[in-house]
Amino acid sequence: MSTAFVESVDVSGGEIIRPETTLDTAPTDSILKVRGLTKRFPMPRDRFFGPRPTLTAVAGISFELVAGETLALVGESGCGKSTVGNLVLNLIAPTEGTIAFEGEDLSRADAARWRARRRDMQLIFQDSGSALDPRLTIDRQVAEGLDIHAIGTVSDRLDRAHRMLEAVGLGGDLVGRYPHELSGGQQQRAVIARALVVEPKLVVCDEPVAALDVSVQAQVVNLLQDLQQAYGLTYLFISHDLSVVRHVADRVAVMYLGRFVEVARRDVLFARPAHPYSRALIGAVPAARSRHGRKVHPVALAGEPPSPMFPPIGCALNPRCPFATDRCRRETPELRSLAGGGLVACHHAEGLP
Ligand SMILES: Nc1ncnc2c1ncn2[C@@H]1O[C@H](COP(=O)(O)OP(=O)(O)OP(=O)(O)O)[C@@H](O)[C@H]1O
Ligand code: SF4
Ligand SMILES: [Mg+2]
């Protein structure tokens, strides 16, 4: 690892320089290309004979990430956000689809290749308490990442760990503490240090601040943004919290029952959500709608999301959507471009009241 990596952090904030990510789905210089990603989980049989039922957690999604950008995945609990993150990191194997990282098709990679690539693709998730080993001081845990990937010499790994911990705001006597001697926010900073010390390029952040107090959430979100700027990180940022997403995302993909239903630049989505499901989500969060000074015409959805074991025929939202027509009950809408920017999977997006 270059020492510049841990020494160049400007945690003072400042303007975050973003790459030109004006494209809605098909950036040309993408670091990650996902095509037709599908994950079906086999479920227990309810009868001894007969086919084994499956649960489709992710149903053929495609997207790309430009180096340095943040793509947020949003949607209700169970829509498949974490499954997408786990698939991208190869923590679970896809049923169908391909994942290419820096042009290399990782769907064909063997275990050794994935181990080598893991350094480039790290995960930060919600539950920092369980992510840390209670028996090891945090500097040892951060140094462990360097051990695993044989980065640097044995003698300077602890030094690098200390610099990384300092970069996330855990310098001084905090470096030698055990996880239980840290607050929730400090534990999450330690988890971030452990993920970043190996110099990843892509970080999947799965609800990274959901378990923290609101005041601490803002600090950790700002830290993630500062680190992204300092190290040129690319984030796949999973969250159900639209006010956090509005703050961090360059583009947003809205998920419903394992599919992307809308993908758009953050400003476009929050100002003019086109899909009834996006309108329901954004319309329900006053903080999310008011920033752009426009009123999002909210949509009231009926009932709860159906089980992904039994997705509705046609558009998956049709049983809940106030605009559903016969066509919606027959045909599954594909993602398509909208004149105002963004992609939407709705037969009637342009003509809705
Ligand atoms: N290992 C598994 N075996 C069977 N079903 C699974 C498994 N992992 C996830 N699922 C199911 O897949 C669907 C998507 O789950 P996932 O965890 O990706 O949702 P999520 O959007 O991350 O939800 P949350 O916001 O609650 O974290 C859910 O119905 C879940 O029950
Ligand atoms: S396709 Fe039909 S059911 Fe689906 S979101 Fe659009 S209007 Fe509603
Ligand atoms: Mg999840």
DSSP H helices, 8-120, are 81-88, 111-118
Residue of the CA atom closest to atom 11 of ligand 1: 57
Q: Which atom of ligand 1 is nearest to the CA of 238?
A: 22
Mutate-to-test residue for ligand 2 from 313, 321, 335, highest number of ligand atoms within 8 A of CB: 321
For residue 83 and ligand 1, the question of a CB distance below 6 A is answered with yes
Cβ burial of 168 (10 Å; 0-12, 13-18, 19+) is: buried
CA of 149 to the centre of ligand 3 (A): 27
Tokens (6 digits) for 239 = 């969250």
For residue 210 and ligand 1, the question of a CB distance below 6 A is answered with no
Alpha-carbon distance of 289 to 266, in angstroms, equals 12
Alpha-carbon distance of 336 to 55, in angstroms, equals 26
Whether pTM exceeds 0.85: yes
CA of 347 to the centre of ligand 1 (A): 27
**Residue 183: what are its φ and ψ, rounded to 5°?**
-75, 170
Residue 297 contacts residue 283 (beta carbons within 8 Å) = yes
For residue 248, the model assigns a pLDDT of 95
For residue 56 and ligand 1, the question of a CB distance below 6 A is answered with no
CA of 84 to the centre of ligand 3 (A): 9
Residue 165 contacts residue 83 (beta carbons within 8 Å) = no
3-state DSSP: the chain helix, strand, coil percent, rounded to 5?
A: 35, 20, 45
Ion ligand 3: residues, CB within 5 A, are 82
Residue 177 is given by DSSP the state -
For residue 276 and ligand 2, the question of a CB distance below 6 A is answered with yes
CA of 74 to the centre of ligand 2 (A): 18
Please count the other Cβ atoms lying within 10 Å of the Cβ belonging to residue 275: 30
Ligand nearest the Cα atom of residue 84:
1
Residue of the CA atom closest to atom 3 of ligand 1: 41
Alpha-carbon distance of 7 to 21, in angstroms, equals 27
pLDDT tens digits, the chain, 353 residues: what are they?
A: 333 333 333 222 222 223 333 334 444 579 999 999 999 999 887 776 777 889 999 999 999 999 999 999 999 999 999 999 999 999 999 999 999 999 999 888 888 888 888 899 999 988 877 889 999 999 999 999 999 888 988 889 999 999 999 999 999 999 999 999 999 999 999 999 999 999 999 999 999 999 888 889 999 999 999 999 999 999 999 999 999 999 999 999 999 999 999 999 999 999 999 999 999 999 887 665 545 555 677 899 999 999 999 999 999 999 999 999 999 999 999 999 998 889 999 999 998 88
Alpha-carbon distance of 142 to 157, in angstroms, equals 9
For residue 280 and ligand 2, the question of a CB distance below 6 A is answered with no
In sequence order, what are the residues at sequence separation of 6 or more whose Cβ sits closer than 8 angstroms to the Cβ of residue 215? none
CA of 249 to the centre of ligand 3 (A): 18
CA of 346 to the centre of ligand 2 (A): 5
Ligand nearest the Cα atom of residue 321:
2
SS3 label, residue 228 = helix
Alpha-carbon distance of 63 to 71, in angstroms, equals 10
Tokens (6 digits) for 64 = 């790309």
For residue 70 and ligand 2, the question of a CB distance below 6 A is answered with no
CA 259-338-85 angle, 5° bins: 30
Rg (CA), the chain: 21
Dihedral of the CA atoms 16, 74, 64, 223 (nearest 10)? 30
Which amino acid, 109? A
Alpha-carbon distance of 107 to 119, in angstroms, equals 17
For residue 316 and ligand 2, the question of a CB distance below 6 A is answered with no
Alpha-carbon distance of 330 to 308, in angstroms, equals 18
